[in-house]
Structure 1
Amino acid sequence: MFVGHALLAFAVAALVADWRGWDRRPALLVGAVAGAFAAVPDIDVAYALVGLLEWQALGGDLGAPAAFWGASRAVHRSVTHSLVVGAVAAPAFGLLAVRGRSARSRASHLAGIALLGALVAVALIWDGPLAAFVMILFVASGILVSRGIAWLSTLPPTTVALAALWGLWSHPWGDLVTGSPPDWLFPFGPPLLESRVILHPDPTLHLLGAFAVELATIAFAIAVAYRVTDRSILASVDRRAAVGAVYGVAALAVTPPTLEVSYHFVFSILGVGLLCGVVQDSYWRPFRARDRLLPSVDAIFETGLTTVAAVAVALVAYATVYLFVTPA
């Protein structure tokens, strides 16, 4: 879901900017800023590297992926996913996006640092050193994004703050069907939900539904990018996407995936999509200035759209075979 968080925030922010009459570049830019901030809460999975270190040190029976995600459960979707934290962090990140070295800009930066420092202190007092460490990672990542925006763009700090707020607040909703519920109200209360939202009692169909939600989010982001850049989405879908239908046979050949064991399904279906999207004669064009080959912008758009379409076809084919052909 990591990609989906960022793309959902990008798509909605860019679509709203386009609806309000913004030009193409600033609309895409504010969408990219929202997407960057939407990715920041998942910095908490960095702690899961501890799981890999312990796994290597102890030589446990678990595989590396299981060790990684096992360690992540201690902190993932906790303090960094709080709507309360986002409400405080977003204006702080906006203050840190103020450009210049005047006394006013320095005061804005100090105010932003103070707000973010308060979040670290709250995490330490309410939830201990581990929560404070994760909050420091969150704060540092947000500062890096804010200062990068100030350096690379001319977006007003208020716009950055609003984009940050949307990105941080949109993030937790994507986790409702894939894992433990986020700690939405930290530090004021426990999670609103005690378990994930179940799309279907069959664990494989639940995974396929969650994957479909993620895929729809990616398709939505691509459609917004096509709209903002005035491209025709129907003209860009290549018929190679239909090759994804052959993936249906995988339902007969491999162990049905679940949220707990899904790597074989995810990597294989994405591989089919990438093969359908990238393999084309017109993908590369000469880049004369450096005498190198680079993909054209139109080819990148076509590749992304065809890849998503192929994965969608593969998902429908797999689900159809799983429902109607495989034994109960």
Structure 2
Amino acid sequence: MFVGHALLAFAVAALVADWRGWERRPALVVGVVAGAFAAIPDVDVAYAFVGLLRWQVADGVLGASTAFWDASRVVHRSATHSLVVGAVAAPAFGLLAVRGRSDRARVAYLSALAVLTALVAVALLADGPLAAVVVVLFAVSGALVARGVARRTTLSPSTVAIAALWGLWSHPWGDLVTGSPPDWFFPFDSPMLESRVVLHPDPTLHLLGAFAIELATIWLAVAVICRLTDRAILASVDRRAGVGAAYGLAALAVTPPTLDVSYHFVFSILGVGLLCGAVRGTRSIPVRRPRRRRLPRPRAESTLEVALTALAAVTIALAAYAAVYFFVTPVG
């Protein structure tokens, strides 16, 4: 879901900007900014690398991933995923996007620093040193994004603050079906949505549903990009994406995936998509044609075709797998 968080924030922000009458390029830019801020809460996963220090080579690759995710649960989806923290941090990130070296800019920077320092102090008092370290990473990441936006775009500080607020607030909702719910109101009690949303009692169908939500988010982002760049989605999808339908046979051959053990499913279905997107057919019989200068194919168009074909292949593969699993495998 790491990618989905950023893409959802991007798509909605860009669509709203377009609806408000913005020029297309600024609409895409504000979407990218919102997406960047939406990715920041997951900086708390950095602590999970501590788990790798306990991993031994004898445990294998699966042991490494288990150690990583077990360590991540210590602080993941806590302070950085809080709606309260997001509401306080977003205006501070907006202040850091003020340009220039004037007295006004200095006051804005000092005010932002004070707010972010206060957040670190609150995390320290409420949940200990580890939470404080995670909030420091969160604050530094947001500050880097804000300063980068100030240098490379013409977005106003208020727009940056709104984009940051949307990105930070949109993030926690994507975790409701894939893991434990976030600490919504840290440092206060969070009585809202205290358990995972179950899409289906069967753990495999639940995973397939969560994967479908992620795919739908990616398709939404792609649709927004195509809309704002005057491109047609279907025209960029090659028919080789249909090869993904063969992945349905995997439902008969491999262990059904769940949220706890999903690596074999995720890596294999993404591999099918990459192969369908990257491998291109060639003519088996050469055809003679009059000589003429061939214009180079635009790189952006070629990349878009590969990406959309791969995405379509993964979507078809998911539908085929789900159909075979549902109709052939007993669903409990």
- What is the CA distance between 1:234 and its match in structure 2? 2.4
**Counterpart in the other structure of 2:304:** 301
- Once structures 1 and 2 are overlaid, which stretch shifts more, 206-215 or 273-282? 273-282
Q: Distance in 2 between matches of 1:281 and 1:20?
A: 43
**Counterpart in the other structure of 2:287:** none
Q: Distance in 1 between matches of 2:251 and 2:175?
A: 26
Deviations 1:17-37 (A, max 9, x none): 111111121111000000000
Q: Distance in 2 between matches of 1:235 and 1:159?
A: 34
Q: Distance in 2 between matches of 1:109 and 1:44?
A: 24
* Equivalent pair of 1:37/1:164 in contact (CA under 8 Å): yes
**Counterpart in the other structure of 1:285:** none
TM-score, normalization: structure 1? 0.93
Seq. identity, %: 74
Matched, 1:250 2:253: no
Deviations 1:181-201 (A, max 9, x none): 000111121352232100011
Q: Distance in 1 between matches of 2:118 and 2:330?
A: 56
Number of aligned residues: 317
- What is the CA distance between 1:60 and its match in structure 2? 6.4
**Counterpart in the other structure of 1:113:** 113
**Counterpart in the other structure of 1:320:** 323
Q: Which amino acid aligns with 1:323?
A: F
Deviations 1:146-184 (A, max 9, x none): 111111111110110000000000000000000000001
**Counterpart in the other structure of 1:222:** 222
Q: Which amino acid aligns with 1:2?
A: F
**Counterpart in the other structure of 1:144:** 144
Q: Distance in 1 between matches of 2:310 and 2:114?
A: 45
RMSD: 1.8
Q: Distance in 2 between matches of 1:22 and 1:273?
A: 34
Give unpaired runs (5+ residues) of structure 2. 283-295
**Counterpart in the other structure of 1:288:** none
Q: Which amino acid aligns with 1:217?
A: T
Q: Which amino acid aligns with 1:320?
A: A
Q: Distance in 2 between matches of 1:105 and 1:179?
A: 41
SS in 2 for 1:54: coil
SS in 1 for 2:17: helix
Please give the residue correspondences for 1:7-26 in structure 2 after superposition, counting only pairs within 5 Å.
7-26=7-26
Give unpaired runs (5+ residues) of structure 1. 283-292
Residues 1:296 and 1:191: Cα distance change in structure 2 (over 3 Å): farther
- What is the CA distance between 1:280 and its match in structure 2? 3.0
**Counterpart in the other structure of 2:48:** 48
* Equivalent pair of 1:52/1:67 in contact (CA under 8 Å): yes
* Equivalent pair of 1:183/1:191 in contact (CA under 8 Å): no
**Counterpart in the other structure of 1:128:** 128
